[in-house]
Structure 1
Amino acid sequence: MDYDCDSNKEAFNESSDQRYLNTRHHWIVWSTGHYTNIEFARLNVDSEVTWATPDSSQQGIDLYDLYKINFTWPIIATPAGHWDRKNGLVYNVTRFKYLRRNNLHHLNFDTAIVVFNHSMVVDNIHEHLITHEESNFTTRMTKASYAQLLMLSEIFNFTMTLLLTDSSNFGPFENGSFQGQIGMLQRNEAKLSPSPLLFYRARDVAADFVSAIWYFDTAAMFRHPKVSAVGNALLQPFTVLVWMCVLGTWLLVLLTLKTSAWLESTYSDESTVESSWSATMLATVGAVSEQGSEMESKWVTFRIVLLFTMVQVVLLNNYYGGGIVSSLLTEPPKTIRTIQNLIDCNLQVGYEDTNYNRGFFQQTTDPLVHILYKKKIFPPTESYPSAYRVDIGVKKMKDEPFVFQIEQIQAYPHIDRTFTDSEKCALTEIPLFTSMVGPVFALVQKGSPYKHILAYGFQKVRERGLMKYKWQEWQPPKPRCLLTRDVVSVEIN
């Protein structure tokens, strides 16, 4: 573009007002004047504007890479190269853009931090966000994300003013506006937010998602009740089909022995074998119970059948005894595994008192979750839903038959401190909102010029392993079941 042309100058000024001097549009502007002539232009850190002007000898052209830290700050010009007829184009800008522009000169960002309890007095928000002390003020997810943003502030040399908001982001309203951190970004009350959110199309219209910085997951947690002994425990080692085959085999043995004994006693004059049903029944029972038989037959048929029965019983006893022993040593089965099981069981159900949990129950399309909510969480007979703070909900899990819907990492520290080993081993988790979990993203204003530099910073943190380090620091592991022991075979010479 020839900036000295009046029509081009007007087009450039209009493009500046429309914020087209950004990373999506690359500009080469020719002018005989100095680049300070466009000091008014709405350049920013993501701008791709090259200023071309004659050099001092008037025989070549000097190129300058122009950008600003902020729309209202002075232009920063970096010599980008030179052109003349003898040497042609010599372009010196070879490094990645945000490696060259990695100093934001203490630019201050108004930063939205999501909290759950506005009535809680916190003297120093920054100190609270970097401490591991448990509270009901905000989540570990926000603290871990803020820790990553602090690393970016050191890399790019910017500062933050922390502003508090709630987590009501399940909009939008009819006019397209949101509450929570998205609402603050829409109203220009904040420039970015490290309190991450799941990606929804409705949210993408109102704010830009920068980079995935956390994995959000929730589940319904409870102590699985002990399974009482069942009446057919002695029949469990074998399936019904196996038992039917075994009984059929024994019945066939009984009939074969009876037929063989009758034929021998009828057609053999020297036979002393008794062919009555009672004697045959006793012989069969003796063989099945590995006690032998008093019936003495000289016929090979009788002896083969009796031998077959005893061999079969020895094999059955081995497998049956092994099945009984293994059933006593293995962990009791957990019968509550699905949402339908939660609906049918006698456990009470509640959820962590947060806006996103309320939004999940309102927005889910799973009919079973709706039934669970209406039957056990907010039945028509109650005035309020069963919503509790983390510490209260975990205590109810310990003391009562209670199911608590929560982000697991919020509950793990409380469980680890208060539950016994047997209670930790009984801990069970059932996901209720499988479509509402996944990676969550830091946010900036829609069309923000700082989106790409922050995305580059988060990627840099991820590649160097610092993001994983912060995850491990802020994600407590699931409480271990110490009653379970691995059996290790040891060879003794």
Structure 2
Amino acid sequence: MEKPKTIKTLSDLVHSSLKVGMEDILYNRDYFLHTKDPVSMELYAKKITSLPTTKENEADEDEPVDPNPASTDPAKSYRDIVHSHETGAHAKDSAASNWLDPETGLLRVKHERFAFHVDVAAAYKIIAETFSEQDICDLTEVSMFPPQKTVMIMQKNSPMRKVISYGLRRVTETGILSYHFNVWHSRKPPCVKKIETSDLHVDMDTVSSALLILLFSYAFTIMILGTEILYSKWQYRLIIRLN
């Protein structure tokens, strides 16, 4: 039987047992530095980075521990981790964080319990070349942030505004945009499901509806056959009487 996919949202991923990695690219780091989404910040603090253990943050055995520490705001703690110089999104050293290149991240997805945020333009090609059909069917996509809109910035009342607008519309209408999109973006690998022997359970409950339909079809066919025979005999007698 096919395993149910329970991770459908970013919050489900945060509360799962999977480790999470990010493609090391500028706009991903910029997103975490400027986002106000609490789920994204929690994801980074709990899954993407790991705070290094040093002598400064280790508790002294002789020092008494306060059993009732002051309550802290978790959102602020997550935000501090994201903006930390050691493990934050702008830290140059990614040893303590899961900032990976697409090949390494997807390799961990294939062999580990690992989730990897990556641009599909790079991911689909690697998945199609290195993943098996069963591995492809086991994958689940979760969107971290919606696609960002891009605009053309120009001077106010610029005479080039209409020229650029017309050019962009022509590029879209003539199919040039779709052509280059297909060239630079690989198609999503299809999931080809194979029928396993464990999935084949045939019993009376499974085939009872088919048998009922078959019996009903037989009865309906016999009824039509009888009607045709009676009509043929009636027509034959009518011809004899007329003659």
Do residues 471 (structure 1) and 181 (structure 2) align? yes
Larger Rg: 1
**1:453: which partner in 2?**
163
Q: Is the 8 A contact 1:352 1:390 kept in 2?
A: yes
Deviation at 1:473, TM superposition (A): 2.6
Q: Is the 8 A contact 2:10 2:144 kept in 1?
A: yes
Question: Aligned match of 1:364 in 12, 30, 35?
Answer: 35
- Which amino acid counterpart does residue 470 of structure 1 have in structure 2? H
Q: Is the 8 A contact 1:351 1:357 kept in 2?
A: yes
Number of residues of Structure 1 aligned to a counterpart in Structure 2: 155
Q: Is the 8 A contact 1:462 1:468 kept in 2?
A: yes
Do residues 373 (structure 1) and 44 (structure 2) align? yes
In terms of fraction of residues, the more helix-rich structure is 2
- Which amino acid counterpart does residue 455 of structure 1 have in structure 2? S
| Counterpart mapping for 1:160-199 below 5 A | none
For 1:440 and 1:397, the matched residues in 2 are separated by 31
- Which amino acid counterpart does residue 433 of structure 1 have in structure 2? F
Deviation at 1:390, TM superposition (A): 1.5
Counterpart of 1:375 in 2: which secondary structure? Answer: helix
**2:143: which partner in 1?**
431
For 2:29 and 2:49, the matched residues in 1 are separated by 11
Deviation at 1:484, TM superposition (A): 5.1
For 2:46 and 2:109, the matched residues in 1 are separated by 19
**2:24: which partner in 1?**
353
- Which amino acid counterpart does residue 166 of structure 2 have in structure 1? Y
For 1:423 and 1:417, the matched residues in 2 are separated by 12
Counterpart of 1:460 in 2: which secondary structure? Answer: helix
**2:116: which partner in 1?**
404
For 1:484 and 1:472, the matched residues in 2 are separated by 28
- Which amino acid counterpart does residue 466 of structure 1 have in structure 2? I
Counterpart of 1:440 in 2: which secondary structure? Answer: coil
Q: Percent identity?
A: 33
Deviation at 1:444, TM superposition (A): 5.0
| Counterpart mapping for 1:281-320 below 5 A | none
If the length of structure 2 is used for normalisation, what is the TM-score? 0.57
**1:339: which partner in 2?**
10
**2:132: which partner in 1?**
420
For 1:368 and 1:333, the matched residues in 2 are separated by 24
| Counterpart mapping for 1:480-491 below 5 A | 480-483=190-193
Deviation at 1:452, TM superposition (A): 2.8
Q: Is the 8 A contact 2:51 2:96 kept in 1?
A: no
Structure 2 runs not aligned, ≥5 long = 53-86, 88-94, 196-213, 215-243
- Which amino acid counterpart does residue 103 of structure 2 have in structure 1? D
If the length of structure 1 is used for normalisation, what is the TM-score? 0.29
**1:176: which partner in 2?**
none
The structure whose RCO (Cα within 8 Å, separation 6+) is larger is: 2
Deviation at 1:373, TM superposition (A): 0.5
Question: 1:40-95 CA deviation, whole Å, 9 max, x = no partner?
Answer: xxxxxxxxxxxxxxxxxxxxxxxxxxxxxxxxxxxxxxxxxxxxxxxxxxxxxxxx
